[in-house]
Structure 1
Amino acid sequence: MALHPGLLPPPATTASLRFSTAWAQPARRAPGGGRGGRRAAKLLVSGALATGILALALPRVAGAQWVDIAHALASLSVAHLALLAVVWLAGLWVHTPALTAALPGLSHRRALLLNLTGSFVSNLLPLGGAAGTVANWRMARSWGFASPAFARWALLTNLCDTALKLALPGVAFLWLAAAGVEAGGAVNTAAYVGLGLLTGIVVALWLLARDDRAVTFLGRWADRLCARVRVLRPPEQGYAVRAAAFRRDSAALVAAGWWRMAFGKIAYAVLQAGLLWLSLRVLGELVNPSVVLAAFAVERILSMVVITPGATGVVEVGMTGVLVALGVDPTMSAAGVLLYRAFTFGMEIPVGGLSMLAWSLTRRPLAA
C-alpha cells in the first residue's frame, strides 16, 4: 500500500529528525520492564482490538456467517492467488515514479523498498506512521540523502496521498449517480467529509505555496517559541529563513515532477481498486466498477482511522457495509474484502519485513 500519512517528523529541521532517530534507537532496559515490553503490550492490545472488531462486527454488518465466508475463500485456486499477487505487485511498482519524482536520485528499486518497509513498520502499530517515517529516513540517510531532502520527500508524497484519498469519495459519488446506482449513506458521508477536508487542504497549500509570507510568519512564530522555551534549539539562521528556503525548493521540485507524482499516485489507486474488483470476481461475484470504487473510496478514508494497526477491523467492516448496502451478496462482500486486505495489508508485513532485513544486512553506516 501507499506510504502512510499523519505523524511525520517536522519537515524542515534536521535537528528534529535527529531527535526522531534518537527516539528510534534501542533504549536501555529499565528495571521492571522497558520500551520493548511496552511496545509489545501495545501491539498485543491493538491486535486483540482489531481481531475483536473483525470477529464480532464483520459478520453482523455483512449479514453472513463466518462458516460461509470461509467456504467462499476456500474455493480459491492457486492460479487465482497468483493473479491477485501480480496485480498487487504491479500496483506497488507503478507507484514508484511518484516516489522518485519527490526525491531526485532515488531509484525505482529503492523507492519500492521504502514503500514496503515503511508499510511494514506502520502496519504493526496503531499510529505507526511516525515509526514508518523514521525507518524510511534511516534508509534514505544510509543511501546518502540529506535529511531536508528526505523531509521534503515525506511531506510531498504524503500530501499527494492524502489529497487523493479525500478526492476519491466525491469521484465515486458522481460515478454511482452516472451509473444509476443510489449511493449509500456511508458514501455520501465520506464524499462530504472528503470534500470539506480537501478544500481546507487546498486553501492551506495555496497560502503556503504562493510566496514566502505564510511560511515566514510560521517560522518567526517558531523562532519566538524557541526563544522562550530554552530546551528547543532552532537552526543557526532561524526557522523563518529555513522555512522559506524549504518552500522554494519544494515548489521547484513539484514544478519539475508533478506529472510523475500524479501518474504514480493515480495509477496506484487504479490498480488497488482493480485488485478489489478482481478479489470479488475470482470468488464468482461480478460487481459494477462504480460500486467497487465506492467501497475503495470509503476504505481510503477509513485507513486514516488508525486506532488499530493499519486500521484493521475498521476498514474491513466499513468496506463490507458499503458493498452490501449497494447490493452485493453479503457473503461475497465479506470474503472479497478479506481477500483484498490479505494482499494490501497482510502481505506487506512479511514482504516488507524481509525487505528491511535485507537492507539492514547490506546498509552502510549513517552519515555523520
Structure 2
Amino acid sequence: MKNRWLQILLSAASLGLAVLLMVYLPQIVRVLTGKDVSWAQVGAVFAALGGGEVALMAAVWLLSLLAYTFVLTNSLPGLNNLQGLTLNAAGSAVSNLLPFGGAVGVAVSFAMTRGWGFGNRAIVVMTLVSGIWNTLFRFVLPAVGIIALLMAGKAANPTVANAGWTGAVSILVLCAIVAASLYWQRAADLLGRALDGLTRLLRLKLDASGAFHRLRADTAGIVRTRWPGLSLGMVFFLGFQWAIMAVCMQATGAWPGPAESIAVFALSRVLTSALITPSGAGIMESGVAALLIAFGVDSTPAIATALLFGFWTYTIEIPFGGLALGAWALLRRRNGRNAGAEPPSAISKAT
C-alpha cells in the first residue's frame, strides 16, 4: 500500500510539474533567452493557422504512427499492422500519462499481445528488440543533428567544429559497434570483454558481458533476419516526425533552415528522455523554443512551434491511445461473450 500511494503521489507530482512547465513556458523561455512573449501573442499565431496546415500535420502524424508499426511487426512475427498501430497507440497513451510510464506501457502491451494469442517468449523478444532499436536511434539522432549543423557551416570556430565532428563520429562508431555485436558473434565477444574491462575499472560488481550475451541470445533470431525492416521502420518513423516539426515551423513562421531544423528535432527527441515529467512534457517544449530562438527565430513563433510539435507527438497520443485501448477491451469482451455462448460442439468444430 505504501508503494502504491508513493507511486500515486509521484505521478501526481510529475503531472503537476508538467502542467506548471507548460503554463509558465513564456516565463521559462524569457529566463533562458531573455526574450519576452505572452500567451496572447502565441494564441494569435494559433488563430492564424489554416485548415489545410492542420490537416497536413494530422496526415504526417498518422504516417509516423503507421511507419512505427513496421518496427513492431518486425519485432513480433505474426503481428499485423492494425494490431501494431493499436499496440503503439495504447502503450504511448499510458507512457505519456505516467512518469516512468514505459514499464506500465510494457504491461499493457503484454496483455494485448497475449490476448491476440502470442506467447510470453515472443512478447519478451519483441519488447527487447523494439527497445534496443529505439535506444540505438535515440543515440544516433544527436550525432545526425551535429553533423547537419557542421555541414551547413554553423560551427562558431574551427575548434568547435573539430569537437563536433569528434563527438558525432564517436557516437556513430559506438552505435555501430553495438549493432554489429548484436549480429556477429566475434563482435559480441569483443564487446563483452570490453564491458568486463570497464566494470573492473569502475569496480562494479556485475557480470556485464554475461548480461549482454543473454540479451543477444534472446534477440539474435529477430535481429539477424529482420534488422532491415526494423531499421527502415525507425528511419521512416523519425523522418515523418521531423516532417511534423518542419510543417509546424513553416506554419508558424519559425523555419530556421534545414540543418537547424534537424538539430532542433534531435534535441526534442533527446529531451523526451527527461523522466521527471511524463515523456519530458514541458522540458521538451522549453528546449525546442530556446534552441529555435538561439538560431534567430522570434520568440513567439518559436514557442508556438514547440507547443504544436508537443501536441502532435505527445498530447494527441493520449486520447488516441485511449480510444485504441478501449476498442481492444470492447472487442475482447465481446469475443469472450461470443465464445461463451457457443455450444461445446461448435467450439470443438471451430478448433
| Corresponding pairs, count | 307
On the 8 A contact 1:84/1:275 being kept in 2, the answer is: yes
Q: Is the 2:285–2:306 Cα contact (8 Å) retained in structure 1?
A: yes
Bigger mean CA offset, 335-344 vs 73-82: 73-82
Displacement, 1:51?
Answer: 2.2
> Counterparts of 1:324-335 in structure 2 under 5 Å?
324-335=293-304
Is 1:41 aligned to 2:13, yes or no?
A: no
| Contact 1:163-1:198 at 8 Å conserved across structures | no
CA distance in 2, matches of 1:83, 1:293: 19
Conserved 8 A contact 1:319-1:337: yes
Contact 1:316/1:338 (<8 A) preserved: yes
Cα distance, 1:38 vs structure 2: 4.9
The alpha-carbon distance between structure 1 residues 95 and 202, as it changes in their structure 2 partners (threshold 3 A), is: same
User: Could you tell me which residue of structure 2 aligns to residue 3 of structure 1?
Assistant: none
In 2, the alpha carbon distance for the partners of 1:277 and 1:44 equals 33
Over the matched positions of the two proteins, sequence identity in percent amounts to 31
Match of 2:71 among 93, 98, 111: 98
1:1-368 superposed matches below 5 A: 35=4, 38-54=6-22, 55=24, 56-61=27-32, 63-66=35-38, 67-182=40-155, 203=177, 206-207=180-181, 210-211=184-185, 247-248=216-217, 250-363=219-332
What RMSD in Å do the two structures reach over aligned CA positions?
3.1
Relative to structure 1, is the Cα distance of residues 350 and 131 closer, same or farther in structure 2, using a 3 angstrom cutoff?
same
CA offsets 1:211-254 (integer angstroms, 9 cap, x no match): 4986xx9xxxxxxxxxxxxxxxxxxxxxx9xx76x744622222
Give SS of 2:100's match.
Answer: coil
Match of 2:345 in 1: none
Counterparts of 2:164 and 2:135 in 1: how far apart (Å)? Answer: 14
Residue 293 of structure 1 aligns with an amino acid whose one-letter code is I
Partner SS state of residue 144, structure 1: coil
Residue 34 of structure 1 and its aligned partner are, at CA, apart by: 8.6
What's the TM-score once normalised by structure 1's chain length? Answer: 0.74
- Deviation for aligned residue 1:337: 1.0
Offset at residue 180 of structure 1 (A): 2.4
Q: How far apart are the structure 2 equivalents of 1:344 and 1:322? A: 18
* Range moving further from structure 2, 254-263 or 105-114: 254-263
Equivalent position amino acid for 1:121 in 2 = V
Measure, in 1, the Cα distance between the counterparts of 2:88 and 2:272. Answer: 16
Q: What one-letter code is carried by the residue in structure 2 that aligns with 1:330? A: S
With the length of structure 2 as denominator, give the TM-score of the two structures.
Answer: 0.78
Residue 161 (structure 1) shift: 1.1
SS of the counterpart of 1:95? helix
2:20 is paired with a residue of what secondary structure? helix
Question: What CA distance in whole angstroms lies between the structure 1 residues aligned with 2:272 and 2:92?
Answer: 12
| 1:265-294 deviation line (CA, Å, top 9, x unaligned) | 001111101110100111233331211110
Change (3 A) 1:190 1:275: farther
Structure 2, unmatched stretches of 5+, are 193-209, 337-351
Q: Show CA shifts across 1:38-89 (max 9, x none).
A: 5543332112211222314234335232222222122223332222111101
8 Å CA contact 1:95–1:264 kept in 2: the answer is yes
Q: What SS is found at the alignment partner of 1:305?
A: coil
* 1:120 Cα offset (Å): 0.4
Q: Which has the larger radius of gyration?
A: 2
Counterpart amino acid of 1:48? G
